[in-house]
């Protein structure tokens, strides 16, 4: 017998061990926002991650086409909230590292869920959607693919102060001649973002797919403070994630993840979903 003959015993493949901080977050999430009922047939999102296209430059991110199952995608379009229920993203002035930061963009949004604030979905379509996005199998599969980046971000957080998971889900409308969302780096406590491009309405131009996708910018770590919004027009994108219906743009947060949405076509409207997986402060029990 050749010394290279395979063993008759089966080879057991195990998932790679995750960094302790990432594993801890996933455990907390599974007992919090990830406490979901059995999913309806056909809404599992984890299998779609096998189609993920990973992008390394200018920072790590990814896309998944046909992200939502077809029936759920159509339900989201069908049950889209009334325009009157959307509000401008709050213009805020807050101190970040001792300096004021202010939102820049024309986006309007509607909160579907803010788990930590007890704001929950109000209709079956949105409940199905959030359950799929929060299912522990999907969240673990997603975080496993970006574990190194997420762990590096977690290493910079005060995990005694920020020790509770949160999940936020929004419906967004971007329209008009003004820029949709200024270039910015997310707050470090937002660990990962998914934006699902839904549709464009109006007369598209040759560069509409770039304008209404996501612009990615080159920046060194620490060169751009979190939540500091600036005009896309003042920058040159290193890469554009083009808009395509039912494409997910997935971004683990990092100090290099400078991004924005140019928009700026008066007769075009973009609909998207956006969700974030956060660390927050434990809610006090009054």
Domain locations in the chain as residue ranges: 20-36+44-280
pTM over 0.75? The answer is: yes
| Predicted pLDDT at 40 | 81
| Predicted pLDDT at 66 | 98
Tens-digit pLDDT string for the chain (286 aa): 333 333 444 444 456 689 999 999 999 999 999 999 888 878 999 999 999 999 999 999 999 999 999 999 999 999 999 989 999 886 544 444 445 556 678 899 999 999 999 998 989 999 999 999 999 999 999 999 999 999 999 999 999 999 999 999 999 999 989 999 999 999 999 999 999 999 999 998 899 999 999 999 999 877 888 888 899 999 999 999 999 999 999 999 999 999 999 999 999 999 999 999 999 987 644 4
Which CATH code fits 20-36+44-280? 2.60.120.620
Q: What angle do CA 218, 151, 249 make, to 5 degrees?
A: 50
| Predicted pLDDT at 283 | 60
């Amino acid at each position: 017998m050749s010394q290279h003959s395979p063993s008759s015993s089966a080879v057991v493949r195990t998932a790679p061990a995750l960094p302790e901080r990432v594993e801890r977050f996933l455990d907390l999430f599974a007992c919090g926002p990830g406490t979901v009922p059995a999913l309806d047939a056909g809404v599992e999102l984890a299998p779609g991650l096998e189609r993920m296209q990973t992008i390394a430059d200018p920072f790590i991110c990814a896309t998944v086409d046909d992200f939502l199952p077809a029936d759920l995608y159509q339900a989201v379009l069908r049950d889209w909230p009334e325009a009157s229920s959307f509000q401008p993203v709050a213009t805020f002035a807050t101190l970040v590292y001792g300096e004021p930061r202010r939102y820049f963009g024309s986006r309007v949004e509607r909160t579907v869920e803010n788990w930590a604030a007890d704001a929950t979905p109000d209709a079956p379509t949105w409940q199905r959607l959030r359950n799929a996005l929060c299912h522990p199998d999907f969240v673990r599969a997603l975080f496993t693919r970006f574990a190194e980046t997420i762990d590096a971000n977690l290493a910079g957080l005060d995990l005694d102060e920020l020790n509770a998971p949160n999940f936020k889900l929004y419906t967004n409308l971007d329209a008009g001649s003004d820029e949709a969302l200024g270039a910015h780096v997310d707050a470090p406590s937002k660990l990962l973002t998914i934006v699902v491009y839904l549709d464009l309405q109006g007369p598209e131009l040759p560069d509409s797919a770039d304008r209404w996708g996501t612009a990615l910018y080159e920046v060194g770590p620490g060169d751009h403070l979190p939540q500091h919004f600036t005009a896309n027009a003042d920058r040159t994108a290193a890469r554009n994630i083009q808009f395509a219906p039912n494409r997910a743009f997935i971004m683990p947060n990092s100090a290099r993840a400078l991004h924005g949405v140019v928009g700026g076509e008066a007769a075009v409207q973009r609909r998207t979903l956006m969700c974030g997986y956060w660390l927050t402060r434990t809610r006090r029990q009054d």
